[in-house]
Structure 1
Amino acid sequence: MRHAIDHKSPIPLHAQAEQLLRNMISEEEYQNGKVFPNEIELAKVLAISRSTLRQAINKLVFEGLLVRKKRSGTKVAKSVVSSKSNNWLSFSQEMKLRGITIKNFETQVSWVLPDDEVADFFEIKAERQVLKMEKLRGKPDEPFVYFVSYFHPRVGLTGEEDFKMPLYEMLEHEHSVIATLSKEEISAKAADGFIANKLQIPTGSPVLFRKRFVYDHGERPIEYNVGFYKADSFVYTVESSR
């Protein structure tokens, strides 16, 4: 087999496997419907575990690049341009895609005790500290969103990471944690004094409140995120297809 994994490379095995699969997807034979080797065979050839290979496959299935069916195997999706891949972006990537220049006004990282909702989501005890990241971001002339993220201790963040990087890229490359599933709640709120001060708007002004629950490939919680968006500066769109 012409594809191989470099076991001496510092790049995590799952990341190498993902790139290898992306390369295979672009090849003419697989574009024309050839079935991928089964997991057992491919993992054996690459000398990696099935769980490592499955982690990479699951990500590409989630992105809509691969289709996996029982008894018929894994194939390249008929259309490799997927709305799912566009939906799964960090804020930095989201804004870059829209051609919007973003400025970081504040970034704060601290260790805190989680409130009941965060502790319940992570299924941890309330006395166990979690890493909290706060960001105030916006256009060069004004902030329009205030984010707060909490991370499960299992992720292994120390607080010394470069949080200027796109978040999910950093988690994958530095901690081998791949965010594969996001569940969101979106509602309208009136800005309290704290949020109004952050976003430079009058207290009581409407804000879009976006709550995101992020999971890894095993559907284990990794991030609890809330965002407060200035109502007149941001439009949240959802694209669906049948």
Structure 2
Amino acid sequence: MKFSINHKSPVPLHIQAEELVRNIIKDPQYADGKFLPNEVDLAKQLAISRTTLRQALNKLVYEGLLIRKKGIGTKVAGASVSSKSNNWLSFSQEMQARGIPIRNFELHISWVTPDEQVANFFEISNTKKVLKLERLRGRLEGPFVYFVSYFHPRVGLTGDEDFKRPLYEVLEKDYSVIANLSKEEISAKAADKLIAGKLEIEPNEPVLFRKRFVYDQGDRPIEFNLGYYRADSFVYTIESRRE
């Protein structure tokens, strides 16, 4: 595909380059996840400097339309997954409601001694083991979220459950435990080596970190959940209505 810009136009070159790249993004040839032409080659083809081209690309990276990978190139970002705060569901239920096919890349189950934070939330001794569930999940083309869940021993999980099913469906249908209340803390943090490796990003790249405290109908704690999301693949939306 040939690209060009008008050097006689009064419109600044970087603005023209930005519009050109926006059109490239819409082309089926560069659909979700496809890499754009090499920066050096594209700058030569447009007869502009790499600095001018990069100014245009940086704008689109900032808007979340492009993803730049050092030493690899710049690619079109996939549509961000969105989660709303006023209608919380299990991850599987959220994605199913949005028609997004999800793949499980890793699933690990273990019994562990809880750290002080988990033990305090569950109001149990830190010598009493709890079930730990780790899941790496995402779109078909790659992972974008890593979950670590701990469950109160009272729930009755054994570790033999089919956790490919929606989590809260397992709790309700198999154990008559209904997740009724969720309290969440959301922050941004730099990915450590473990999280970066799981999410296929560079160490210290930003991730969205969501801590979820889940209670049953009696306001008793049942799950302590940590979620690490790729910043370029997930949007958390908050909907408020003034009474």
Q: Taking structure 1 as the reference length, what is the TM-score of the superposition?
A: 0.64
Q: 2:190 and 2:111 mapped to 1: Cα distance? A: 28
Q: 1:110 and 1:217 mapped to 2: Cα distance? A: 26
Q: 2:109 and 2:161 mapped to 1: Cα distance? A: 10
Q: Give the corresponding residue for 2:116.
A: 116
Q: Which amino acid aligns with 2:235?
A: V
Q: Give the corresponding residue for 1:164.
A: 164
Q: 1:152 and 1:213 mapped to 2: Cα distance? A: 11
Q: Give the corresponding residue for 2:95.
A: 95
Q: Give the corresponding residue for 1:152.
A: 152
In structure 2, the residue corresponding to 1:185 is in which secondary structure?
strand
Q: Give the corresponding residue for 2:224.
A: 224
Q: 1:240 and 1:93 mapped to 2: Cα distance? A: 22
Q: 1:99 and 1:168 mapped to 2: Cα distance? A: 19
1:88 Cα deviation after fit: 2.7
Counterparts of 1:1-242 in structure 2 under 5 Å? 87-241=87-241, 242=243
In structure 1, the residue corresponding to 2:234 is in which secondary structure?
coil
- For 1:56-90, what per-residue CA distance to the aligned partner results, in whole angstroms no more than 9, with x for missing partners? xxxxxxxxxxxxxxxxxxxxxxxxxxx98x71311
1:100 Cα deviation after fit: 1.2
- Structure 1 runs of 4+ with >3 Å offset: none
1:162 Cα deviation after fit: 0.8
| Larger relative contact order, structure 1 or 2 (CA cutoff 8 Å, min sep 6) | 2
Q: Taking structure 2 as the reference length, what is the TM-score of the superposition?
A: 0.64
RMSD (Å) for aligned C-alpha atoms: 1.2
Q: Give the corresponding residue for 1:56.
A: none
In structure 2, the residue corresponding to 1:211 is in which secondary structure?
strand
Q: 1:88 and 1:209 mapped to 2: Cα distance? A: 16
Q: 2:88 and 2:147 mapped to 1: Cα distance? A: 17
Q: Give the corresponding residue for 1:75.
A: none
- For 1:157-185, what per-residue CA distance to the aligned partner results, in whole angstroms no more than 9, with x for missing partners? 00001101110011000000000000000
Question: Which segments of 5 or more consecutive residues in structure 1 lack a partner in the other structure?
Answer: 1-82
- For 1:42-69, what per-residue CA distance to the aligned partner results, in whole angstroms no more than 9, with x for missing partners? xxxxxxxxxxxxxxxxxxxxxxxxxxxx
Q: 2:99 and 2:210 mapped to 1: Cα distance? A: 22
Count of residue correspondences: 159
Bigger mean CA deviation after superposition, 88-97 or 209-218 = 88-97
In structure 2, the residue corresponding to 1:87 is in which secondary structure?
coil
Question: Which segments of 5 or more consecutive residues in structure 2 lack a partner in the other structure?
Answer: 1-83
In structure 1, the residue corresponding to 2:198 is in which secondary structure?
helix
- For 1:14-43, what per-residue CA distance to the aligned partner results, in whole angstroms no more than 9, with x for missing partners? xxxxxxxxxxxxxxxxxxxxxxxxxxxxxx
